[in-house]
Amino acid sequence: MNRPDERDETIDFGFDQVPRDEKVRRVGAVFDSVASRYDLMNDLMSLGIHRIWKRFTLQACAVHAGQQVLDVAGGSGDLALAFARSVGSDGRVILSDINAAMLEVGRDKLADRGAVGNVDYVQADAERLPFAAASFDCVTIAFGLRNVTDKQAALDSMARVLRPGGRLVVLEFSHPTVPLLKPLYDLYSFAVLPTLGKLVAGDADSYQYLAESIRMHPDQATLVGMLEAAGLERCEYFDLTGGIVAVHRGFKP
């Protein structure tokens, strides 16, 4: 599968086309802005349903005691907290994020919940993960892939650090598969989300970007092809809430 050419001058930032370096800066500014209200906004935007999506993701990961887990773009640490409890004292979880403000939110949450002995925190770019090949039994990225500049490079990087038999699990907003759901979802995304962002987080523009970035993200079948292009096998996806969200999974040969 073709990936963006490094020589390409622009790439999507929501519906806009911006220079590649500019997207990195703008995405960073979005998460600097929303970090302190990230969890609250997740609950409000999804009416709490994001917890069910994450629970399904954890089941797809099937992490158990003693394993090594990497949560990429781990944000406020919901998945990492659950992984820390699953792997136990003999395992290790790394919560990584490119954004320092989000990583700090995740570190504070896990410390408050008592997950201090088996979790490390690494500020890292998903496209260039600073870990040795074949280091992890499971790698996850939840609601982060659509913000990456070169999505295929990030998938390649995540696949590289997986051990043989390990699994990559991607939780991300996707494309609704129920016809009557799409117009309602569009209305909610472009009318309600920015207004909610302005009222709660004082930032309508970041949530306008959220709605736009979801529409620019590859659909379910395309993302399966990208996982396969990263060298993974038995790639599959599971639609949740009518395809508003999908969980993709692939295994390292």
Mean pLDDT of 229-234: 98
Residue 7's pLDDT band, with cuts at 50, 70 and 90, is: very low
pLDDT over 90, % of the chain = 78
| CB distance 193 to 208 below 8 Å | yes
Q: Does residue 126 carry a pLDDT above 80?
A: yes
Q: 76 with 113: CB under 8 angstroms?
A: no
Beta bridge partners of 70: 94, 139
3 state SS of 68 = strand
Can you tell me the mean pLDDT for 79-85? 97
Instruction: Identify the helix (H) or strand (E) that includes residue 73.
Output: none
Mean pLDDT along residues 102-110: 95
| Residue-level pLDDT at 4 | 46
As to burial, measured by CB atoms within 10 angstroms (0-12 exposed, 13-18 middle, 19+ buried), residue 140 is buried
Residue 6 has pLDDT above 60, yes or no: no
Strand order in the sheet with 136-142: 119-123, 92-97, 68-72, 136-142, 162-173, 245-251, 233-240
Helices (H), the chain: 20-34, 38-46, 50-61, 78-87, 100-112, 151-160, 181-187, 193-196, 204-216, 220-229
Domains parsed from the chain with CATH numbers:
35-176+223-251 (3.40.50.150)
Round to whole Å and give the CA distance between 137 and 206: 34
Residue 1 has pLDDT above 80, yes or no: no
Whether pLDDT at 81 is above 60: yes
| Residue 201 pLDDT > 90 | no
CA distance linking residue 62 with residue 67, whole number of Å: 10
Instruction: Using pLDDT thresholds of 50, 70 and 90, give the confidence band for residue 9.
Output: confident
Query: pLDDT of 23-69, one tens digit each?
Result: 989 988 888 888 888 888 889 999 999 999 999 999 999 999 999 99
Lowest-pLDDT choice from 3-12, 39-48, 145-154, 231-240: 3-12
- Please name the residue that has the structure tokens 């949740």: 240
Coil, helix or strand at residue 60:
helix
pLDDT, average across residues 242-251: 98
Rounded to whole angstroms, the Cα distance separating 229 from 248 reads 14
Please give the pLDDT value at position 219.
97
Torsion (CA) 119, 123, 126, 129 in degrees, nearest 10: -80
- Model pTM? 0.92
Query: Which whole-number Å values give the CA distances from 190 to 82, 92, 134, 245, in the listed order?
Result: 32, 40, 41, 17
Q: Helices 100-112 and 20-34 sit at what angle, rounded to 10 degrees?
A: 30
Across the range 116-123, mean pLDDT stands at 94
